[in-house]
Amino acid sequence: MGEKIGFIGLGEMGKWMARNILKAGFNLTVLDMNPEAVKFLTDQGAGSAATPEELAASVDWIFLSLPSTAVVEKVIFGASGIVKGAPTGTLVVDCGTTGYLPTLDFEKRLKERGVGFADAPVSGMAARAKEGTLTVIFGGNNAVFDQIKPVLDVMSNKVLHMGKAGNGQLTKLVNQLLFNVSCAAVAEMMPMSAKLGLDPEKVTEVITSGTGRSFAAEFFAPLALDGIFDKGYPLKHAYKDMVSASEISARHKIPLPMVQACTTTYQMALAEGLGDQGKGAMMKVFEKLLGVKFRRNEGTA
């Protein structure tokens, strides 16, 4: 555990990932715009830095857990960015959900500067981040994987090496798109069932136990019954998956008709001002269109 580790991005996922690295005994320096998030880690023994450049100058490996591709690029290449302070041989590991095509570009640009890069996006929500039971989807060469796997192991209970840099993000995108399509389908079907007089509670029981079940249904349908739509990753941030899919579809001439339909549902929800709510809030679009609500005691059975 002689390597010095930096961690940038202490949001709902990152703060627990960083905490688990610290608890495992690694030398950790953290950075985030939120001083309370930084204090949460420094109170437990972590060091802190004022800028990515400063952090990069004092560590060997840098883990990122950032909200968007644009933020990742700014943190790495912007003014006071990582590349300004990183010595040759520094390793950057992106654990956030970043666009696949930009990830390939970041790896190329860092390599030209003598800085290593790997992508290691995670699957799982904040509760699993806290428990250290995330799934890590790694893209990078074998030597880097073997080197940093002890760190990945303290954040997760499953680490999958998918091949070269970029493959982690590509695999994560496939997983997210399947989830997003399921969320959009639930958003359509539940209001339809209420419109035609089915009991929302009984419908929920069927779709969370029958062949129509999915993680989207299991997570969001019970919450909708109680009018709870603020759980899970905000729509405005999750939309980046749809943008990535469209870019790949256009670049590689791969038709994605289901994904495009799902993208339209996302756009409708964002146009309704639902961006700060979770993916389950897409249901509100169809509730409004049909003049119903999928809630307890709303159906006529």
What positions carry a catalytic annotation?
A: 172
- CA gap 87, 26 in Å, rounded: 20
Letter string b/e over residues 56-68, b meaning 16 or more CB atoms within 10 A of that residue's CB: bbebbbbbbbbbb
Cα 25 from Cα 150, distance rounded (Å): 11
Cβ within 8 Å of residue 213, ≥6 positions away: 207
Instruction: Please give the Cα distance from 82 to 62 (Å, whole number).
Output: 9
C-alpha neighbours within 13 Å on the C-beta side of residue 233: 21
**Distance (Å, whole) CA 279 – CA 184:** 8
Q: Do the Cβ atoms of 252 and 193 come closer than 8 Å?
A: no
Cβ-based neighbour number of residue 121 at 10 Å: 25
